Chain A
């Protein structure tokens, strides 16, 4: 089967990303390494959200919770002197999966407006929980004691090494998500989104598949959280703020909902747009100082007029 144009574009992008560290070193612009690493970490989070949102049709407004859980897993373990990366990241994934299971068990049964509000409410609950625990900094947050250690294998303090770790995980998750979506499991999930009544009539019960997808998605996002805190070296409950959830959703939409390349394109687009609005010297001060106003307007316009997102501009498999 010949890959669709979209697949080529995605492969090309990943190759381009791989070329960044040497390029950045050659041009002596470490800033871009940092920026793109951040883009990729959010792309991982957006990919996880795309699974349940794009393919599952579940409008989860609480996804930032898992970024927070993953980050806190690393941060809290580090607080108690445990720096082993394998352990930290396993806990990040495991804890996120567990929380997703707990929240999902209650919320996945609902749909529509209820599901949106419930996922939002639970995320805020975790946010307030994070704020109220003074031990770990409360609402000020705390510094990461040390980066996750993978003794002998990789030193995350090396920017390029860390960059490639993130890139590898992104590529891996993109591949895994693709396989998941094409499998029987993915089909059942998409069928439930496409026509729930019919799915039931032919014998699918949507709940177990949706819950499983919800848990997988949460776990993936938990790893993104672990990566994020290693990137920022600082941990705050703001990771879990609902506006962050909104940003993740926008990345999925901007990039193209229900496509493989979408989350990466969307993360890049949104983060670069935010950076641009905040710091581009060509923009008047009135704009950069209140960039969120303009971002808000742009986002509204995108939703109203450009539903298919960036990936929609490139022909996909069925076109």
Chain B
């Protein structure tokens, strides 16, 4: 078995007396979709932030494609191929939908010290951006101001922006959060099209989405991973059922 694309070794993060991440060993293989679930307050967001670079662990390391990225800030990890979508929608509200994606493409293309050519007429930005919007189903809203999109459309835009940087690994923080049944079904179908070609780490509460998409599931409780396995294995795991799935019924 080849070495994992992303792994954490002994990751630990404490906020004063509160230990949010308690010695987490975690690995993701290339091409797999690995879901992280756990009750509220289990430390999922803290964990994701350490993967994306917004938080630095106290001890332990994060390795990506064999390289230690523990001290790298988010913008550097993005360049290495690790992209994140946000749980609480974080987009550029005063830009159009198309421009949001174009910005992500622009960021990926290298430095932006180009002072003369108008970005909105730059085909090398516009075309790929439209492609991505088509992929997530938002091409009809290209010129709409991002802040005017519906909640579900915001989530779609989030993913489009994450994809714009051609990541090897996608960190999806609750992609179907706040969506109705139809919308989440659509989102799940879309994410299925990404399976295999992209490695995905998925943090989610929605069990339908998790069980349809995940190749493996890790369960995070009080900052520790208590179980890792295929969906079937996790379903059958009594400890997990008691601690977590039991609440969901």
Contacts and interface: CB of A to CB of B under 8 A. Distances in A.
Given A183-B119, A186-B119, A195-B93, A202 B112 contact: no
Interface in A233-255: none
A6 to B, nearest CB: 17
Contacts of B93: 194-195
Contact of B90 (A187, A190, A197): A197
A261 interface: no
Interface string A169-197: 00000000001101111111011001101
A318 interface: yes
A200 B75 contact: yes
Interface string A191-223: 100110111111111001100100000000000
A186 B113 CA distance: 9
Interface in A119-157: none
A180 B117 CA distance: 8
B35 interface: no
A203 B116 contact: no
B190 interface: no
Contact of A183 (B52, B92, B108, B118): B118
B116 A202 contact: no
A184 B108 contact: no
A184 B114 CA distance: 6
Contact of A201 (B52, B119, B122): B52
Contacts of A188: 103, 106-107, 112
Nearest to A188: B112
Interface residues of A, number: 26
A203 B95 contact: no
Pick the most buried of A180, A199, A208, A209: most chain B CB atoms within 10 A of its CB: A199
Contact of B115 (A180, A190, A201, A318): A180
A83 B104 CA distance: 49
Contacts of A199: 103, 107
B90 A183 contact: no
Contacts of B176: none
B162 to A, nearest CB: 8
B94 A202 contact: no
Contact of A185 (B52, B54, B112): B112
Interface string B82-116: 01101000111111000100111011100111111
A191 B119 contact: no
A179 B118 contact: yes
A183 B75 contact: no
A184 B117 CA distance: 7
Given A179-B118, A191-B103, A185 B95 contact: no
A177 B245 CA distance: 57
B79 A191 contact: no
Given A182-B119, A203-B165, A198 B112 contact: no
Contact of B117 (A183, A198, A205, A209): A183
Given A185-B114, A201-B75, A209-B112, 11 more contacts: A183-B119, A184-B113, A188-B112, A190-B94, A191-B95, A194-B92, A199-B107, A202-B164, A203-B78, A203-B104, A208-B113
Interface of A: 179-180, 182-188, 190-191, 194-195, 197-205, 208-209, 212, 318
24 contacts: A183-B116, A183-B117, A184-B106, A184-B113, A184-B114, A187-B112, A188-B112, A190-B95, A194-B92, A195-B93, A197-B54, A198-B161, A200-B74, A201-B74, A201-B86, A201-B90, A202-B104, A202-B107, A202-B108, A203-B165, A204-B107, A204-B112, A212-B113, A318-B145
